Structure 1
Amino acid sequence: MIRNLGSNRAAFIAIAAILLAGCTTFSKDGGFNTVSTTASERLGRDAVYVRTDEDRDAAFKRTQELLSKPLGIDEAVQVALLNNRGLQASYGDLGISEADLVQASRLPNPGFTFSRTHWSDGFGISRTFSMGVLGILTLPVATRIESRRFEQTKLETANAMLAVAADARKAYVNAVAAEQAAHYAAQVKDSAEAGAELALRMRQAGNSSKLDYAREQAFYAESVAQLAKARQQSVAAREKLTRTMGLWGSGTQYQLPDRLPDLPKDRPDLNELERFAMQNRLDIQAAKLRTESVASSLGLSKATRFINALDVGYLNNFETDKGHERGYEISVEIPVFDWGGAKVARADAIYMQSANRLAQTAIDARSEVRESYAAYVTSYDVARHYRDEVVPLRKTISDEMLLRYNGMLASVFELLSDSRDQAAAVNAYIDALKDYWLAETDLQQSLGGRLPPLASAQVPGASQSEAAPPSAPPTPAPATQPASPTNSEGK
């Protein structure tokens, strides 16, 4: 502390007024503007900080509007930004950091000491007015350090918001894919059940072998187990989406579309992604500010290594035998045992730690971009291969097999075997499509929450123009047995 000069009170009051006028005050938005701007520019969504009952009511009404129709992927992200409580909790870091900034910019409170002593023939009065001068001298540097930390917190909070948005996108893709797979598994199970019934009747009529009958019964039994597993996975994926969106009660009754968005017809070429990520990723920007803040703290530590306390005070004492006694006192800590070397060494170590963490963050970011882009390209090519090659070929084979069956050139069991192959191909396409949308989300996240602007314009996010994967083919009745009970079966 610094004991304040008191000989000229008017001058002191004027200086204090000037310093107080320069103190940082709380901002109107509490630093949330960085988060909301990031959400608008990179996601096309609105980030909302729910702090009052009015904010909560507005978020609830908007959520109800979004849930009143089948939920799209962008709507799921918006619901998460409105209701995810973990995200809302992270916004509290903004208020904490801004409070630290305001506190660092404030002058230290002055101190006043009063004492009254008695002795046999008189008494004495001692009055001391003091103030922390070292805090005043370091006030500009401390304010700059906390200002950088506040900017760093803004970026980190915005990055946390982007992470929640990415989690919502991935949870949505998994939920829709799981529900689509469950619906298709139900169709396959119905087809397998019809095939098993057909094989049973043909076996009873003596028109099929025990091997063919066992194959159809085994496929039906497996399809029942696969359907149960698919439905459980659908429930688990939906619940994860529900948690990510922060919904409960009646809000959990939202409706998802029947299938995933279709694969874009073309995949854009993305160039210089590493450079884009270095410029766009908020965690790298926050790490840079953290390192700059630590460097400033290191400079402050070196500047004050020999002075831990500097006290200046105005004295106004009175004793009955001496009268009034006025003056000042200065108190300085003498660096006899502690020369500040440990403090500087600690600051040096923190700086090197921060610098290395910044370098590692950049290295990891570049690697994540390369890895996610490779997965993006591969998953697109695989999904397109299933869409353009495998599934159409399986459809052609199924159509040709049905023609041969109707022409009595193929048996019913050959037709049933082909239907199983077609079902496997469709399931593989659903998985490939899911992998593509997950890979695109991972790529966006590795680039800072969005693809480069040109790529974003070329890749439609939720096209539904292409045909849906074919449903499980129905099991026809055997045309070769007009007298059989199965002749009237249309399963």
Structure 2
Amino acid sequence: MPATLALALAMVAGGCASLDPTPDIGRAASTIGDRSGVTPDWTQPWETALTTWDGRSPLTREAALVMALRNNREIRSQVEQIAASRADLVQAGLLPNPVLGLTLRFPVDPVSGGTFIGAQVVQSFTALWLRDGKVKAADARLNQTVLDVSDKALRLVADVKATHARIAFGEKALALSDENLATIRKSIDSLDARVRGGEGTTLDVNRARQQLAKAEAERALVARDLAKERRIMLELIGFAAESAEWSVDAAGSMPLAPPIDESGAVALALAQRLDVAAARSVVTAQQADLSTEEKSRLRDFGLGADFERETDGSKSLGPVLEVGIPIFDTNAAQIAKAGSLARVALASYEAASQRAVREARTAWIDLDTASRLTEQYRATVLALSERNLTLAEAALKAGQADVTVLLDAQRELIEARRTLLDLERDGALAGIELERAAGGLLR
């Protein structure tokens, strides 16, 4: 029977596909684990209270990554897209349901005859020769979704690492500001003693106090930026409303020198970048869509059976054939559209590849420059600034220089320490960006 055949074909077409997205989610989690060293557990719901970390002890980078991948609401919403794409794949393999038509006509004049009964079952088979293309496109889009989610998770990993680094360097900057304030206050005490001994003037003390006021204002700005970064971290790990009175464990920071050369960074980006791989999956999906549209010139083709009982009681049974005649719509417009979208996808893939190369190269330059500048600055500028302050203090005590020399030496040392810390921070952030631009761990 045609209806039985249609049912059997539908079972064959859709019976092997599963709606369970767990393997696809596991594939995304495994990819993230390979690229970042931290494998998320998306089979568990996000935490509603702090359990991994107590909210008071120093926050390690690893703990922050684990909590962010599990609790960040944005990434968890993206994970649900995998289930939706899995459902689309299952749907693509199904035939449309058969259509049952019933006819029941009663005579106006009971004397003229009996009741007419008709029944018709029609199954459309157009989807049968379009199924392979639709399944291929849906499978490519599922792969794209898995790669997109993995890429967004790696970007979250980079954001957490960068925020953790900024907090760590912010805490160092705050401690450095306190050291600078202590140095300036010590100088003020020494200058006060000189004034009392008749060796200095009130102007000398006031200039030092002006330097102190400026340093206190700069410390307040450092504290403000640090407070903001801590609150950003709380949002990233899924607890935006928790207390921000905590510090970070700075262990496990990025190496300052690039572990690979520029060509190695480019090779890693082309091999590992998930956004490039996702763009490649879009190309596959659009090419499959084009193939499907090219096979869709005959859009309607159905087979079925028709049963009728006439008013005189006679019965008949026969086949039904439904064919859409492509007179007005030959599907040329949809074929042209699908071809254009396929070319768009190919160009977008090439653009993603070019962008990946550019980002990897510029990130490598940033890290290489930061590492060179940091070592140079530490060996020259900072060393000279420390030596100059010692000489200025000795010259002032010996009466060979005035207080201006001391204050200038202090200011230069403070600026040198701050600049070196900024260079170290920039180097750490450049290393994190190079990891992201290369698509994962640098190995």
Q: Taking structure 2 as the reference length, what is the TM-score of the superposition?
A: 0.90
Which residue of 1 is the match for residue 228 of structure 2? 236
Which residue of 1 is the match for residue 104 of structure 2? 116
Match of 2:127 among 124, 129, 135: 135
Aligned to 1:125, the other structure's residue is in SS state strand
Aligned to 2:247, the other structure's residue is in SS state coil
Give, as a single letter, the amino acid of the residue that structure 2 aligns with 1:331.
E
1:254-333 superposed matches below 5 A: 254-257=246-249, 264=255, 267-270=258-261, 271-304=263-296, 306-321=297-312, 323-333=314-324
1:70 partnered with 2:62: no
Distance in 1, Cα, partners of 2:149 & 2:404: 60
The 1:424–1:16 alpha-carbon spacing in structure 2 relative to 1, beyond 3 Å, is closer
Match of 1:35 among 18, 28, 31: 28
Which residue of 2 is the match for residue 5 of structure 1? 2
1:318-357 superposed matches below 5 A: 318-321=309-312, 323-357=314-348
Aligned to 1:316, the other structure's residue is in SS state strand
Aligned to 1:91, the other structure's residue is in SS state helix
**Residues 298-344 of structure 1, C-alpha deviations (whole Å, 9 max, x = no match):** 0110111x222222221011122251121122222222222211111
The 1:264–1:441 alpha-carbon spacing in structure 2 relative to 1, beyond 3 Å, is closer
Deviation at 1:110, TM superposition (A): 2.1
The 1:425–1:179 alpha-carbon spacing in structure 2 relative to 1, beyond 3 Å, is same
Which residue of 1 is the match for residue 93 of structure 2? 105
Deviation at 1:140, TM superposition (A): 2.4
Give, as a single letter, the amino acid of the residue that structure 2 aligns with 1:108.
P
Which residue of 2 is the match for residue 361 of structure 1? 352
Which residue of 2 is the match for residue 460 of structure 1? none
Distance in 2, Cα, partners of 1:321 & 1:391: 111
1:203-242 superposed matches below 5 A: 203=195, 206-242=198-234
1:396 partnered with 2:399: no
Give, as a single letter, the amino acid of the residue that structure 1 aligns with 2:52.
R
Higher mean C-alpha deviation, range 437-446 or range 185-194 = 185-194
**Residues 330-375 of structure 1, C-alpha deviations (whole Å, 9 max, x = no match):** 2222222222111111111101111111111111111111111111
Which residue of 2 is the match for residue 25 of structure 1? 18
Give, as a single letter, the amino acid of the residue that structure 1 aligns with 2:414.
A
Contact 1:171 1:244 in 2 (8 A): no
Distance in 1, Cα, partners of 2:415 & 2:251: 18
Contact 2:130 2:295 in 1 (8 A): no
The 1:328–1:350 alpha-carbon spacing in structure 2 relative to 1, beyond 3 Å, is same
Contact 1:169 1:441 in 2 (8 A): yes
Aligned to 2:106, the other structure's residue is in SS state strand
Give, as a single letter, the amino acid of the residue that structure 1 aligns with 2:417.
V
Which residue of 1 is the match for residue 138 of structure 2? 146
Distance in 1, Cα, partners of 2:137 & 2:303: 26
**Residues 148-196 of structure 1, C-alpha deviations (whole Å, 9 max, x = no match):** 1111111111101000000111111112222221222233233334434
Match of 1:417 among 408, 412, 432: 408
Deviation at 1:391, TM superposition (A): 2.2
Contact 1:405 1:412 in 2 (8 A): yes
Contact 1:386 1:429 in 2 (8 A): yes
Which residue of 2 is the match for residue 486 of structure 1? none
Which residue of 2 is the match for residue 380 of structure 1? 371
Deviation at 1:118, TM superposition (A): 0.5
The 1:405–1:79 alpha-carbon spacing in structure 2 relative to 1, beyond 3 Å, is farther
Distance in 1, Cα, partners of 2:9 & 2:410: 89
Match of 2:173 among 173, 181, 187: 181
Give, as a single letter, the amino acid of the residue that structure 2 aligns with 1:420.
R
Aligned to 2:335, the other structure's residue is in SS state helix
RMSD: 2.7
**Residues 213-247 of structure 1, C-alpha deviations (whole Å, 9 max, x = no match):** 34213212211211221111111122122222222
Q: Taking structure 1 as the reference length, what is the TM-score of the superposition?
A: 0.82
Match of 2:160 among 164, 168, 193: 168
Contact 1:30 1:98 in 2 (8 A): no
**Residues 99-148 of structure 1, C-alpha deviations (whole Å, 9 max, x = no match):** 11111122322222222110123211111112221122322221121111
Deviation at 1:14, TM superposition (A): 4.8
**Structure 1 unaligned residues grouped into runs of 5+:** 454-491
Distance in 1, Cα, partners of 2:42 & 2:247: 26
Give, as a single letter, the amino acid of the residue that structure 1 aligns with 2:126.
L
> % of aligned pairs identical?
21
Distance in 2, Cα, partners of 1:384 & 1:430: 12
Distance in 2, Cα, partners of 1:12 & 1:223: 82
Contact 2:204 2:403 in 1 (8 A): no
The 1:12–1:87 alpha-carbon spacing in structure 2 relative to 1, beyond 3 Å, is closer
Total equivalences in the alignment: 438
Contact 1:42 1:449 in 2 (8 A): yes
1:448 partnered with 2:436: no
Distance in 2, Cα, partners of 1:254 & 1:219: 30
**Residues 32-89 of structure 1, C-alpha deviations (whole Å, 9 max, x = no match):** 122221222121112121554xx647x953344xx56422333322221122111111
Aligned to 1:61, the other structure's residue is in SS state coil
Higher mean C-alpha deviation, range 409-418 or range 338-347 = 409-418
The 1:238–1:364 alpha-carbon spacing in structure 2 relative to 1, beyond 3 Å, is same
Distance in 2, Cα, partners of 1:411 & 1:101: 81
Distance in 2, Cα, partners of 1:15 & 1:50: 34
The 1:151–1:116 alpha-carbon spacing in structure 2 relative to 1, beyond 3 Å, is same
Which residue of 1 is the match for residue 77 of structure 2? 89
Give, as a single letter, the amino acid of the residue that structure 2 aligns with 1:98.
R
Distance in 1, Cα, partners of 2:10 & 2:339: 34
Distance in 2, Cα, partners of 1:352 & 1:97: 23
Distance in 2, Cα, partners of 1:263 & 1:130: 66
Aligned to 2:100, the other structure's residue is in SS state strand
The 1:233–1:274 alpha-carbon spacing in structure 2 relative to 1, beyond 3 Å, is same
